Amino acid sequence: MSQATIIDGKAAAAAVIDTVKAGAAALEARTGVRPGLAVVIVGEDPASQVYVASKGRMAEACGFKSVKHALPADTAQAELAALVASLNADPTIHGILLQLPLPKPLDPLPIIATIAPEKDVDGLNEVNAGRVALGDFGRAFVPCTPAGSMVLIRSAMPDLRGRHAVVVGRSNLVGKPIAALLLAADCTVTIAHSRTRDLPALCRTADVLVAAVGRPEMVKADWVKPGAVVIDVGINRVPAPEKGEGKTRLVGDVDLDGARANAAAVTPVPGGVGPMTIAMLMENTLVAATRAAG
Ligand code: NDP
């Protein structure tokens, strides 16, 4: 069997960004409203620092107002809530992103719940999660990674009706909303998790296999049904002694080389879902600004 197509997340993201840039310029010309994105980061987590920097750069490239609030790791819950309240009240800010994970003992859920739903461009608060669960996509902000994953899935398998989709992972951030989107696309959806029995056999029944687990290269070649579309959401840093002592590299939750032998199309890590996540954040921010402008 021929090798699977590698789904180019960078190219797909670049196309979304081009559309967002044009949309932002048109919105500002028409209404004077310039989309504004505020990113809040607490503590020094190195991976989060990298993500926040790239989100800020991309927001600027899109012509947005981009604001970063970096708070120390010992920030009190009330202080963080006060910052979110001030951003909720700021008419120049249309999107608020709270970078996760938060350092302990901060509890993300009560803070996320205070983000105004119309500025919750990460789609994580209960209003938007509820709208996604209800299939009310016209008013929801769909979380960025699931939204981006769907674009990539559709690019590889335009007709999803009746397909069996298996989503491995049931987090609020990724697994559950991807499952809701696949269901809305008329897939038959199975959600798997750490207690699922005989996961390899279940995965072998998937026309669309989404891995959102956080375990390096867990999904092996023989878990993949011939002709499946495989979406690898995982981002895992593993030792790479071949690059030198102490060096690391990024891998996904899927054994990419193995999966390529069976799948019709797979996303690489890096260069697959990751770039789409940032692109969808920009799209959601533009949507938020457009709604705010009436
Ligand atoms: P979570 O840790 O919140 O969830 C992981 C899920 O995987 C849980 O539902 C867990 O099951 C399940 N799981 C863990 N081990 C197994 C196993 N052995 N077999 C089956 N299921 C298992 O992670 P996230 O959903 O936040 O993220 C998942 C991955 O995606 C991570 O690698 C993360 O870095 C990456 N990510 C990538 C993004 C991107 O832009 N590309 C954005 C966000 C995340 P249970 O519920 O039973 O514990």
Q: What average pLDDT score do residues 173-181 get?
A: 97
Active site residue 55: yes
Decide if 11 is inside a domain: no
For the entire predicted model, the pTM comes to 0.96
Asked whether the CA dihedral 140, 141, 143, 147 is positive or negative, the reply is positive
Decide if 21 is inside a domain: no
Q: 115 among the known binding-site residues?
A: no
Q: Order of strands across the sheet with 188-192? A: 5-6, 265-266, 229-232, 208-211, 164-168, 188-192
244 and 154 share one domain: yes
Range of the domain at 231: 143-273
182 and 263 share one domain: yes
Of 119, 152, 172, the position where a domain reaches its end is 119
- Ligand 1 atom 15: the closest Cα is on which residue? 194
Rounded to 5 degrees, φ, ψ at 88 are -60, -35
* DSSP conformation letters of 162-210: T-EEEEE---TTTHHHHHHHHHHTT-EEEEE-TT-SSHHHHHTT-SEEE
Active site residue 49: no
Decide if 25 is inside a domain: no
Find the catalytic residue in 10, 45, 68, 99.
99
**Res. 1: pLDDT tops 90:** no
Q: 214 among the known binding-site residues?
A: no
Q: 93 among the known binding-site residues?
A: no
261 and 168 share one domain: yes
Number of domains comprising the chain:
2
Q: What average pLDDT score do residues 178-202 get?
A: 98
Decide if 49 is inside a domain: yes
Q: Residue 270, preceding bond cis, omega within 30 degrees? A: yes
C-alpha of residue 233 to centroid of ligand 1, in Å: 8
| pLDDT for residue 133 | 95
Decide if 64 is inside a domain: yes
| Percent over 70 (pLDDT), the chain | 100
93 and 162 share one domain: no
pLDDT in tens, 137-147: 999 999 999 99
88 and 148 share one domain: no
111 and 148 share one domain: no
pLDDT in tens, 4-25: 999 999 999 999 999 999 999 9
243 and 155 share one domain: yes
Decide if 58 is inside a domain: yes
Under DSSP, the state recorded for 226 is T
- Ligand 1 atom 1: the closest Cα is on which residue? 171
Decide if 175 is inside a domain: yes
C-alpha of residue 213 to centroid of ligand 1, in Å: 3
| pLDDT for residue 95 | 98
Are residues 187 and 150 in contact, defined by beta-carbon separation less than 8 angstroms? no
ipTM score of complex: 0.99
149 and 256 share one domain: yes
Pocket of ligand 1 (CB under 6 A): 145, 168-171, 173-175, 192-196, 199, 212-215, 233-236, 273-274, 277
267 and 148 share one domain: yes
Q: 235 among the known binding-site residues?
A: yes
Mean residue pLDDT of the chain comes to 97
Can you give the CATH number for the domain in which 221 is found? 3.40.50.720
C-alpha of residue 31 to centroid of ligand 1, in Å: 41
pLDDT-derived band of residue 155, with 50, 70 and 90 as boundaries? very high
Query: For residue 38, which of 108, 78, 98 has the smallest C-alpha distance?
Result: 98
Active site residue 74: no
115 and 147 share one domain: no
Decide if 76 is inside a domain: yes
C-alpha of residue 250 to centroid of ligand 1, in Å: 15
**Res. 2: pLDDT tops 90:** no
Q: Which of 54, 99, 174, 238 to mutate to test the pocket of ligand 1 (most atoms within 8 A of CB)?
A: 174
Find the catalytic residue in 119, 120, 122, 225.
122
53 and 157 share one domain: no
114 and 149 share one domain: no
Find the catalytic residue in 8, 10, 49, 55.
55
C-alpha of residue 174 to centroid of ligand 1, in Å: 8
pLDDT in tens, 213-258: 999 999 999 999 999 999 999 999 999 999 999 999 999 999 999 9
Can you give the CATH number for the domain in which 65 is found? 3.40.50.10860
